[in-house]
Chains A and B, each alone.
With several copies, the nearest count.
Chain A
Amino acid sequence: MDGVRPMVDMTTQLATLTLPNPVLTASGCAAAGRELHQFFDVAALGAVVTKSIMMRPRSGRATPRMAETPSGMLNSIGLQGPGIDAFIDTDLAWLAEHGARTVVSIAGGHTDEYVELARRLNGHPAVSMLEVNISCPNVESRGQVFACDAIASSRVIGAVRRAADPSLPVFAKLSPDVTDITLIARACADAGADGFSLINTLLGMVIDTDTMAPALGGGTGGLSGPAIRPVAVRCVWQVRRALPHLPILGMGGIRSGLDALQFVLAGASAVSVGTAVFGDPSAPVRVLAELEQALDDRGFAALADAVGYAHRRPADRLVPEAAEVAAG
């Protein structure tokens, strides 16, 4: 930390996609980039991940839609959005115009909806990757969330993989609310997933002690923020260990470069900054700068060398700088 700007090769690879750096926004926490562009150039990010889009316009749920919790928040938005056509015409067009690499998150109530979304996005020059949000109730299975069932997950991912432009990586975004996330990951991998986005929110609830009823209009909601970071890091670690050849986009409570580094060391090739944006609109670019500095401080010449580093056995490690626990 000698004041010199760090010179770390920050490029990263998400399957066939090369990004100039590994820091992205998180779906639903950056809309489609336009508002954040008031605070920083969205083209400076690895990519913008857009809010999950569905076929039709959606109102979302009744308010209240959020509750702050210790080091976290619950949300119950219900995927409010304009529908795929308006999204392509306005949001994607704006992103293309501003030179932002774009990961489009798609969501559906049944497999066909996902497939149709992938088709509509094929060939659009602004789209760099698809993130498939399978934390949605499957209307054909009495509302069970796709991501909580290996078969439903693999069916959606397989169908999207077949429908999507072969040059676009398809990432499966998994839910931590499962008994064994590696089983779902493996099913998605077998179905052709090119990588994983880990993790979506945890199902949570707050009771309002004034009204003595659930605080959210939707009853339960998704828990995000630093509170869930240890769960997210664990999921990244487990999936990396189970499927070391597939890239991971890690997320869940990242607020600083050192937080991002935890995900990278656990096996993520890139990270999304979500809830932190609400507290600090320029968090993604700050996290990027801090991560580069942190890698430089630790002697990494390239981000790629740090990906999964915490899995190495002691013998395969760099000689770590002696951690000074206390003076003496």
Chain B
Amino acid sequence: MTADTVVSKPVQETAEIFSVQKIGEYVQFTVVAPGIAAGFQPGHFVAVAVGGDNTSMLLRRAFALYGATPTGQFAGTIQFVVAEHGPGTRWLTQRSVGETLDVVGPLGTSFPLPSGPSPAVLVGGGYGSAPLIPLARELVAAGSPVEILLGAATGSRLFGELVAKRTVGAVTVTTDDGSAGVRGRVADVLPDAIERIGAEVVYACGPMPMLRAVSEVARAHAIQAQVAVEEAMACGIGVCMTCVLPVRGDDGRSRFVRSCVDGPVFAADRVRWEDVGTLPADVMGADAMGGH
């Protein structure tokens, strides 16, 4: 794990929607955004304005990039996958081909790639598998053996099973309700996968409890895990400080760091999972918090 993460250089683009595809409970967008496509690395995300003119929703919504085609028959395109959650994502899922979206990206840090071939397990929860697919392609291209584990609450919330199989062959699926694949949590099948291929690194994206479980399994196997977190973000570009979580630095001290520019990808062993959403007394500057 010597290669560095690629910090993005974001641009803002008015992106025409090239295709909208319903996939299970998700909607997959392909939009024309050559500037964003040019800078894309797996792990980067975009921030999309929602609601149109005169909307009451001021803030952009963040989506991990599922892929980018910097050039081709058309100007560069990017892809992302939207799960309907609240009013902003509902508005998005109602868009049609030919309309435009206001998109800022690529944002955040990318998954750091191993400097040479190195066996890896990729763990995706729900739509969290989206950014792992382009990552898998890069790893495979670099000669790394790769296994992918996909989990979801139920079958319709799985994303990317087919393309994952096309990319790496070895794919395991879990669902909480047993409606597809193995019944259970995706982290439960992680130890076997690690051992099966002698993984040297785990990559993961999904809900926080899943990332925490993945982190623990990786630690137990004494290997690195790189995880992409999901914190509520007001700006997505590093200016507002809403998206922080407690992370240990190289100096051993913990800081509240911005998940939009210092993340979303973090080394899992640096994240203080048990303290997310609290103000740990030993976080840098916590001692100065007297009352406000």
Contacts and interface: CB of A to CB of B under 8 A. Distances in A.
A327 B210 CA distance: 10
Contacts of B244: 60, 63, 65, 80
B238 A62 contact: no
Given A30-B239, A36-B239, A59 B277 contact: no
Contacts of B284: 57, 59
Contacts of B197: none
A136 B57 CA distance: 28
B152 interface: yes
B240 A326 contact: no
| Residue among A66, A143, A282, A326 with max Cβ neighbours from chain B (10 Å) | A326
Interface in A104-154: 109, 136-137, 139, 143
B256 A279 contact: no
Interface in B50-73: 56-60
Given A60-B241, A78-B289, A143-B291, A327 B152 contact: yes
A35 B238 contact: yes
B151 A77 contact: no
Given A58-B288, A327-B125, A328-B206, A68 B59 contact: yes
Nearest to A325: B207
B240 A28 contact: yes
A132 B290 CA distance: 19
B283 interface: yes
B128 interface: yes
A30 B239 CA distance: 5
A72 B58 CA distance: 7
Contacts, number: 171
Interface stretch (B90-98, B134-142, B217-225, B227-235): B227-235
Contacts of A62: 277-279
Contact of B288 (A57, A68, A277): A57
A278 to B, nearest CB: 4
A83 B11 CA distance: 30
A39 B12 contact: yes
Interface in A31-88: 31, 35-36, 38-39, 51, 54, 56-66, 68, 70-73, 75, 77-81, 83
B208 interface: yes
Interface string A260-278: 0000000000000001111
A324 interface: yes
B291 A327 contact: no
A328 B125 contact: yes
Nearest to A79: B292
Contacts of B237: 35-36, 38, 281
B263 interface: no
Number of chain B interface residues as a range:
35 or more
A226 interface: yes
Contacts of A277: 235, 239
A281 B241 contact: no
Given A68-B58, A327-B25, A328-B186, A278 B240 contact: yes
A38 B9 contact: yes
A197 to B, nearest CB: 18
A318 to B, nearest CB: 20
A326 to B, nearest CB: 5
Contact of B241 (A65, A72, A136, A280): A65
A28 B279 CA distance: 20
A328 B207 contact: yes
B289 to A, nearest CB: 6
Contacts of B242: 63-66, 75, 77
Nearest to A328: B125
Q: What 10 A-B pairs are tightest by C-beta distance, nearest first?
A: A328-B125, A327-B126, A327-B157, A59-B285, A57-B285, A278-B235, A66-B242, A58-B285, A328-B126, A35-B238
Interface of B: 9-12, 25, 49, 56-60, 83, 85, 102, 104, 125-128, 151-154, 157, 186, 206-208, 210, 230-232, 234-245, 255-256, 261, 276-279, 283-292
Given A29-B240, A280-B12, A326-B127, 17 more contacts: A38-B237, A56-B287, A57-B284, A57-B285, A62-B279, A64-B242, A66-B234, A73-B234, A80-B256, A139-B290, A217-B277, A217-B279, A275-B58, A278-B239, A279-B58, A281-B104, A328-B125
13 contacts: A31-B238, A56-B285, A56-B288, A59-B279, A61-B279, A64-B277, A65-B243, A79-B292, A277-B235, A278-B58, A327-B126, A328-B128, A328-B153
